Amino acid sequence: MSSLLPHSSPARWEKLGERVLATTRVLELRAVRYRHPARGTEKDFAVIHAPDWCNILALTPADDLVLVRQFRFGTGDYSLEIPGGMIERGEDPVTAAMRELREETGFTGARARLLGSVHPNPALQANRCHFVLVEDAASTVAMAWDADEEIAVTTAPVADVLSWARSGRITHALVLNALFLLEPVWAEIIRGRQPVTD
- What pLDDT digit, counting tens, does each position of 80-123 carry? 999 999 999 999 999 999 999 999 999 999 999 999 999 999 99
Tell me the pLDDT of the chain averaged across its residues: 93
Tell me, rounded to whole angstroms, the distance of Cα 65 from its chain centroid: 15
Mean pLDDT of 148-154: 89
Q: Give residue 5's pLDDT.
A: 62
Distances from the Cα of 99 to the Cα of 7, 12, 92, 95, 133, angstroms: 47, 38, 11, 6, 13
Note whether 101 and 145 are within 8 A (CB): no
- Residue 174 φ then ψ, to 5°: -70, -30
- Residue 3 φ then ψ, to 5°: -150, 155
Q: Give residue 144's pLDDT.
A: 81
Nearest to 118, CA basis, from 144, 150, 90, 84: 84
Nearest to 104, CA basis, from 60, 55, 176: 55
Three-state SS at 101: helix
Alpha helices in 52-151 (DSSP H): 93-105
Q: How far apart are CA 167 and CA 174, in angstroms?
A: 16
**At 194, is the pLDDT very low, low, confident or very high (cuts 50, 70, 90)?**
confident
Q: How far apart are CA 181 and CA 195, in angstroms?
A: 25
184 half-sphere exposure, CB direction, 13 A CA radius: 5
**In this structure, are strands 53-58 and 129-135 parallel, antiparallel, or unpaired?**
parallel
Q: Give residue 1's pLDDT.
A: 54
